[in-house]
Amino acid sequence: MTHPNETKTAQPMVMMRDVEKYYGTFHALKNINLTVAKGEKIVLCGPSGSGKSTLIRCINALEVSHGGEIVVAGHSLHNDQKAIDAVRRVVGMVFQQFNLFPHKTVLENCILAPMRVRKLSRAEAEATARKYLERVRIGDQADKYPAQLSGGQQQRVAIARALCMEPKAMLFDEPTSALDPEMVKEVLDTMVSLARDGMTMICVTHEMGFARQVADRVIFMADGEIVEENDPENFFRAPKHQRTRAFLGEILAHH
């Protein structure tokens, strides 16, 4: 006999079934099947143009998929605005280019969506913002503008801004690729601590150290397909496919 709560926890956070995606005639995602459980941490890697960004952007409907089914936190994405709203309400996203709003201070960046979307009062939104800014260790910069921060600080603000919506899952699209090397660690540390707290995470990244440290599964994509997936231990030790081996060889040579 199953307890009602059990069926709920058994429901996956993200379920993609037979998903296809085209840009015009270009076939960007081919028959994607992926299930991410609550609390699971996925690292997505693969060569440039393999469709990693496209895949995670389908999860929060920044891209429209053309076949198959995507269900996120119980909401089936069928291009109706209600489902899209519901999904974006519970899924946060962090971008390679930070995408902070330049005309708003750090604090204002963090309270806009909580006030408009979660309908928090300004006081509540500010309290939430300060909590998460502390959490990413940048509380003292609340009144600065994005342009006054370093890349690493900006990305941590972007993470805090997403956390202010109290999401159930977070998508990361190469969050450290635009950073100077000395700033990569501070952002990765933030992500590791988020992972430790049980956040469901899907990260496009080539930071293999991070993958080893937190990932439950590493997924390798090429040409719009999922080629291989495994737990990090086996993924790195014994990659099955030639393309994975070639890719890992290249990545690790650079590190």
Ligand X SMILES: Nc1ncnc2c1ncn2[C@@H]1O[C@H](COP(=O)(O)OP(=O)(O)OP(=O)(O)O)[C@@H](O)[C@H]1O
Chain residues binding other proteins by CB under 8 A are 60, 62, 85, 88-89, 91-93, 95, 97, 99-104, 112-113, 116-117, 145, 147-148, 158, 161-162, 165
Two structure tokens written together for 182: 């000395």
Q: How far apart are CA 118 and CA 113, in angstroms?
A: 7
Number of neighbouring beta carbons within 10 Å of residue 140? 10
The option from other proteins, ligand X, Mg ion, none interacting with 27 (CB < 5 to 8 A, set by class) reads: none
In this complex, which beta carbon is closest to ligand X, that of residue 51 or of residue 232? Answer: 51
Two structure tokens written together for 233: 């231990």
The option from Mg ion, ligand X, other proteins, none interacting with 112 (CB < 5 to 8 A, set by class) reads: other proteins
Out of 5, 48, 81, 242, name the contact with ligand X by CB under 6 A.
48
For residue 177, give the 3-state DSSP assignment: coil
The option from other proteins, Mg ion, ligand X, none interacting with 147 (CB < 5 to 8 A, set by class) reads: other proteins
Residues 6+ apart with CB under 8 A from 227: 46, 220, 221, 241, 243, 244
In this complex, which beta carbon is closest to ligand X, that of residue 22 or of residue 236? Answer: 22
Closest C-alpha among 160, 114, 120, 115 to residue 137: 160
Out of 13, 16, 19, 54, name the contact with ligand X by CB under 6 A.
54
Q: Does 101 bind ligand X (CB under 6 A)?
A: no
In this complex, which beta carbon is closest to other proteins, that of residue 62 or of residue 251? Answer: 62
Q: Does 175 bind ligand X (CB under 6 A)?
A: no
For residue 100, give the 3-state DSSP assignment: coil
In this complex, which beta carbon is closest to Mg ion, that of residue 141 or of residue 205? Answer: 205
Question: Interface with ligand X by CB under 6 A: which range of 51-59, 102-110, 141-149, 230-238?
Answer: 51-59
Angle at 169 between CA 98 and CA 218, to 5 degrees: 85
DSSP state of 202: E
